[in-house]
Amino acid sequence: MFTTLAATPDLAAAQRFLGFGGAEVRAGGADVTAAKGTDVATNVSVESDFGYVGLPTIRSILGFNYFSGNVAASTGPLRPGAEGTMRSAGVAASLRWDWRAKHRLTPYLLAGATLDYVRSEAGDTEVDGLLDGNHLGGQFGGGVAFRFGSGHYHWSLTADLRGVTSQDLGRMLATIGLRYSPRGQAMYDIDDIPSARPTTIIEGPPGRAPPP
């Protein structure tokens, strides 16, 4: 008698990392440290949920953002008299923890990193040199999602407040948005998904049926 290895179904967690969990669009204001003036910058963000990390309530998020505003300040890194506009486009990667995830009102916390490319037209060579180019930073914050609709509540309204710690481009963002999750609250469930695992099979001599 001898043994061989074969693959048989096992139970695994559903929607692991790199599984699409949803998308969100937000818009609001950005109070930029390096661009303080009469106007608050406009900020727009689009984020995708790429599944959970470790626990279904810890979501992996990749986002793209754009903001623009006036450059006008007499304090901070800007020299008196600098005035003009600035625009920035960037990416952000973060982890989001959804607390009370299967409730209709779900608070959340997040932390991650950002990379922004800025184009400044402040009318001042020194200021433009300070702001132009890439800015790497960290982000942290939180918010609340209110789920609505039928079934598993696939849609959510969100209110989000976060800070970005970036040299010469630190800012606070206050936005509201709309989130869509194809699985709704079921995205926090552990499903029974077949996966392969090694299993020992015992076979008898050729020409004889294997033992029961």
> Given a cut of 70, is residue 148 above it in pLDDT?
yes
- Give residue 13's pLDDT band: very low, low, confident or very high (50, 70, 90): very low
pLDDT (0 to 100) of residue 9: 41
Domain ranges of the chain: 14-194
pTM to 2 decimal places: 0.76
For 74, 194, 200, the CA distances from 36, given in Å and listed in that order, are 9, 55, 68
Structurally, at CATH architecture level, domain 14-194 sits in: Beta Barrel (2.40)
Q: Which residues of 29-60 are buried (b: 16+ CB within 10 A; e: fewer)?
A: bbbbbbbbbeebbebbbebebbbbeeebbebb
- Give residue 200's pLDDT band: very low, low, confident or very high (50, 70, 90): low
pLDDT (0 to 100) of residue 201: 52
pLDDT (0 to 100) of residue 19: 78
C-alpha span between 126 and 130 (Å, rounded): 6
pLDDT (0 to 100) of residue 53: 92
Instruction: Give mean pLDDT, residues 98-122.
Output: 93
pLDDT averaged over every residue in the chain: 80
C-alpha span between 51 and 57 (Å, rounded): 10
